[in-house]
Structures are given as structure tokens and as C-alpha cells.
């Protein structure tokens, strides 16, 4: 029988992280209307709440010349893998598939369309990052224990240095959020901080 309560082990969160701007990319995971807008098909209120913090970090990153990468969850209307689990969502070309207005990509930003949770799986993301000499990733977005975690895990297995501002990722509930942080900290040795703790030099 599963326990009714689970004690979350201590998770290390550092105050400050300084990253070399030219070797760093800010990765914004799946901040799309279907996930982060109240009218979205799989809306999670926590995803809406992190938009201002991601926007603030995005502004500072752009000011320092940090490369900006968006992942855009992408499905077709008859997706046989995820739709049986989640229902239809982020169908390519629809309003729900678009990145939220507050975080719209600009010219020169990189947008990676992905069909599965992991932004590296079946996409050119790793090649693009290495082509630009990126070794450090600051990962934000939604959902913490699904697409964010799988992308972070895949990045670490490829030996990227990964930083996650814990106030710039969102989950569907507190348990999933805590579980994601535990895996990032304990298993993948990600550096956890806050949006204000991220500095670009």
C-alpha cells in the first residue's frame, strides 16, 4: 500500500549561479497556450504563474547575448502515442500550439518542435547547441516532472551543465513538483537556484 504522506528529502538550492553568456542557452520548455493559458486544453494554473519570472529572466538573458531556445510540443490530429494519455493537445498550427503571447520568440531565437517529452529525442537540439558552442543550459517551463525533467535528464546524459530556477518551472500538483526537483538534484546533479540567482557574465 502506498503511504498517504511522503517526506521530501532535502534538496539543495544555491543562492547564485554565474554562467558565461556566450556558452549558455536559456531553454523555455513548452510554454504554449494549451498548457499556460486559461483557455488551453491542458491548462495548469502554475504554468501561468511562472510567466512573469521567465519573462524577467528572458529579458536579462537577451541583454547579455545569451542564446534563447524554445521547445514547442507538437502533435498531429491523430497522434497515437500521447492522445490516448492526455487527449488532443498542441496540434500543429492551432492556437493552443502557439507559444504564449508574453513569451513570444523573437527573430534569431531557436524554436525546436518536439513530438515527445524529451526535447532532444528525434530533434536537432543537441546538434544546434553544439554548433553554437553551448555548454550550459538554464531550463525553465512546464511541466516540471514531464517535459522539463525528461529534457533536463537528456541534457545531463549528454554532459551539459544544467541550471534550473525552481521558481520558473511548473507542475500540475505539489507532489509532482517536489518529485521533479528530487530527481534533478539527487539523480542528475542539476544546479537548482531561483530566477534572481541566475547571473550571466
Active-site amino acid positions: 30, 114, 147
Give the DSSP per-residue string, 96-129. GGSBPGGG---TT-EEEEESSSSTTTTSSHHHHH
Contact 31, 74 (CB under 8 A): no
- The three-state secondary structure class of 18 is strand
Distance, in Å, from the CA atom of 66 to the CA atom of 34, rounded to the nearest integer, reads 27
Distance, in Å, from the CA atom of 6 to the CA atom of 13, rounded to the nearest integer, reads 20
- The three-state secondary structure class of 21 is helix
Q: How far, CA to CA in Å, does 178 sit from each of 10, 36, 90?
A: 10, 20, 26
Q: Provide the grid cell at 132.
A: 553554437
Amino acid at each position: 500500500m502506498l503511504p498517504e504522506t511522503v517526506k521530501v528529502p532535502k534538496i539543495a538550492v544555491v543562492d547564485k549561479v554565474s554562467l558565461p553568456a556566450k556558452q549558455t542557452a536559456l531553454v523555455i520548455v513548452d510554454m504554449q497556450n494549451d498548457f499556460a493559458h486559461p483557455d488551453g486544453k491542458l491548462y495548469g494554473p502554475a504554468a501561468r504563474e511562472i510567466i512573469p519570472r521567465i519573462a524577467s529572466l528572458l529579458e536579462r538573458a537577451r541583454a547579455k547575448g545569451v542564446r534563447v531556445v524554445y521547445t514547442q510540443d507538437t502533435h498531429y490530429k491523430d497522434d497515437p502515442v500521447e492522445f490516448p494519455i492526455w487527449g488532443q493537445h498542441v496540434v500543429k498550427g492551432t492556437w493552443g500550439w502557439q507559444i504564449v503571447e508574453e513569451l513570444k520568440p523573437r527573430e534569431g531565437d531557436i524554436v525546436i518542435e518536439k513530438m515527445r517529452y524529451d526535447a532532444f529525442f528525434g530533434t536537432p537540439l543537441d546538434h544546434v547547441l553544439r554548433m553554437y558552442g553551448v555548454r550550459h543550459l538554464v531550463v525553465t517551463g512546464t511541466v516540471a516532472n514531464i517535459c522539463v525533467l525528461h529534457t533536463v535528464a537528456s541534457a545531463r546524459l549528454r554532459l551539459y551543465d544544467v541550471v534550473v530556477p525552481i521558481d520558473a518551472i511548473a507542475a500540475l500538483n505539489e507532489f509532482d513538483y517536489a518529485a521533479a526537483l528530487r530527481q534533478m538534484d539527487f539523480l542528475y546533479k542539476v544546479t537548482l537556484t531561483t530566477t534572481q540567482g541566475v547571473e550571466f557574465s
